[in-house]
C-alpha cells in the first residue's frame, strides 16, 4: 500500500530554515510509517536452510575419510614445499592466540545480538533476522568444512618442528583450507553492518558498527595466523567467502519496494513572482 503526502509551504524569507524543517518532518513520517527492510518467504528459506543442512551433512561424511598424519609421515613434512607467500605461517604457533581468537569470534556474534536487542526496529524483526543469521552460519560452515575435508591441507604448525608431534596427530591438522574462523567472523561482521545500515540508513553509528565488527573479524584472522592455524591464503579466502555470504543473505531478503529517502522524497522549490515556496511529496510504505 502506498500513501502519498503532499505539502506546499509558502515563504518570503528564510527558505533554508523552512526546507530543513520540512525535511525533518518527512523523515519523522518515514520512521513512523516505514516498513521492515527484510522479509521471509517459505520457499526461499527452505532452500537456504536445506543447502546449509546438506552441506553440513556432506562435511561430516567427508570428515570420516580424512586420515590423520602418522608420526613417520609428520617427520617427512618440509616447510620448503610451501609457497613463499604462505611459508611464514609455518614458523608460528601460539596456543594463547588461538584461544583469544575463539573469544573474538564470539565477540562478533555478540555485537550482532546486542544490536538486535538494543534497537527497537531490529528487535521487532528478531524472528526474520534470526532466521537470516542461521542461514548465514549454516551455509558458511557447511561449505567451509566440506572444502577443508576435500582439500586436506596441512595446517602451518604441522610443518613446525618446534611443535610437539602429539599436537599433530588428529584430523584437525589436515583442515587448514580455508579458515572457518575468518569465514564466520567476516560473515557475521558484514551481516551486522549491512543489516544495521538498512534499519538505520541515516544513523551516525553506521561507521562505528562497521569498523567495530570488521575490526573484531580482522583481529580474529590475525590471531589465527599468529597461532599457526592458518596460512595467509586460508585467511584471505575465508574472508572473501564469509563476506560474500554475510552480504548475500541479507540482500536476498530485501523487500523489493524498500526505497531510500532520495527516491521517496521529492522536494522542489517554486515561485509565482510574488511568493516563493517549497513543494514536498513523500511516498510512505506500510506493511
pLDDT tens-digit readout, 164-219: 999 999 999 999 999 999 999 999 999 999 999 999 999 999 999 999 999 999 99
Comparing 125 with 283, the larger pLDDT belongs to 125
Same domain, 187 and 277: no
The string of pLDDT tens digits covering residues 84-128 is 999 999 999 999 999 999 999 999 999 999 999 999 999 999 999
182 shares a domain with 281: no
**192 and 247 in one domain?**
yes
* Residue 21 pLDDT greater than 90, yes or no: no
Task: Considering only residues 84 and 283, tell me which one the structure prediction assigns the higher pLDDT.
Answer: 84
Counted domains in the chain:
2
Q: How many other CB atoms sit within 10 Å of the CB of residue 143?
A: 22
Domain presence at residue 111: yes
- Together in a domain, 99 and 179: yes
Q: Residues 29, 65: one domain?
A: no
pTM listed for this prediction: 0.78
Is residue 43 domain-resident? no
| Residue range(s) defining the domain that contains residue 264 | 1-35+259-287
Is 58 domain-assigned? yes
Task: Looking at the structure, tell me whether residues 11 and 85 fall in a common domain.
Answer: no
Residue 61 in any domain: the answer is yes
4-18, 83-97, 129-143: range with lowest mean pLDDT: 4-18
Would residue 187 count as lying in a domain? yes
The answer as to whether 89 is a domain residue is: yes
Do 108 and 143 reside in the same domain of the chain? yes
pLDDT of residue 157: 98
Spatial strand order in the sheet of 276-285: 2-11, 276-285, 265-271
Q: For residue 276, name the pLDDT band (cuts at 50, 70, 90).
A: low
| Average confidence score pLDDT of the chain | 86
**Do 25 and 112 fall within a single domain?**
no
Residue 11's pLDDT band, with cuts at 50, 70 and 90, is very low
Question: Is the domain of 130 the same as that of 263?
Answer: no
- Residue 162 and residue 93 in contact, taking contact as beta carbons nearer than 8 Å: yes
Amino acid at each position: 500500500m502506498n500513501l502519498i503526502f503532499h505539502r506546499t509551504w509558502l515563504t518570503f524569507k528564510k527558505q533554508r530554515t523552512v526546507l530543513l524543517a520540512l525535511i525533518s518532518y518527512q523523515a519523522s513520517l518515514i520512521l513512523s510509517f516505514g516498513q521492515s527492510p527484510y522479509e521471509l518467504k517459505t520457499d526461499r528459506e527452505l532452500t537456504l536452510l536445506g543447502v546449509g543442512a546438506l552441506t553440513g551433512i556432506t562435511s561430516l561424511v567427508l570428515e570420516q575419510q580424512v586420515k590423520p598424519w602418522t608420526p613417520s609421515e609428520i617427520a617427512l613434512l618440509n616447510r620448503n614445499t610451501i609457497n613463499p607467500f604462505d611459508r611464514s605461517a609455518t614458523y608460528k604457533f601460539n596456543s594463547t592466540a588461538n584461544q583469544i581468537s575463539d573469544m573474538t569470534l564470539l565477540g562478533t556474534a555478540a555485537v550482532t545480538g546486542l544490536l538486535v536487542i538494543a534497537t527497537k526496529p531490529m528487535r521487532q524483526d528478531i524472528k526474520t533476522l534470526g532466521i537470516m543469521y542461521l542461514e548465514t552460519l549454516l551455509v558458511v560452515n557447511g561449505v567451509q568444512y566440506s572444502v577443508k575435508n576435500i582439500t586436506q591441507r596441512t595446517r602451518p604448525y604441522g610443518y613446525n618442528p618446534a611443535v610437539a608431534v602429539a599436537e599433530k596427530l588428529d584430523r584437525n591438522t589436515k583442515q587448514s583450507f580455508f579458515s572457518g574462523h575468518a569465514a564466520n567472523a567476516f560473515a557475521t561482521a558484514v551481516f551486522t553492518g549491512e543489516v544495521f545500515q538498512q534499519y538505520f540508513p541515516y544513523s551516525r553509528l553506521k561507521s562505528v558498527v562497521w569498523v567495530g565488527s570488521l575490526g573484531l573479524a580482522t583481529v580474529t584472522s590475525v590471531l589465527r595466523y599468529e597461532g599457526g592455524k592458518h596460512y595467509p591464503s586460508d585467511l584471505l579466502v575465508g574472508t572473501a567467502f564469509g563476506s560474500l555470504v554475510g552480504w548475500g543473505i541479507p540482500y536476498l531478503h530485501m523487500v523489493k519496494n524498500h526505497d531510500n529517502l532520495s527516491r521517496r522524497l521529492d522536494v522542489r522549490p517554486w515561485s509565482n513572482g510574488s511568493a516563493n515556496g517549497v513543494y514536498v511529496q513523500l511516498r510512505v510504505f506500510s506493511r
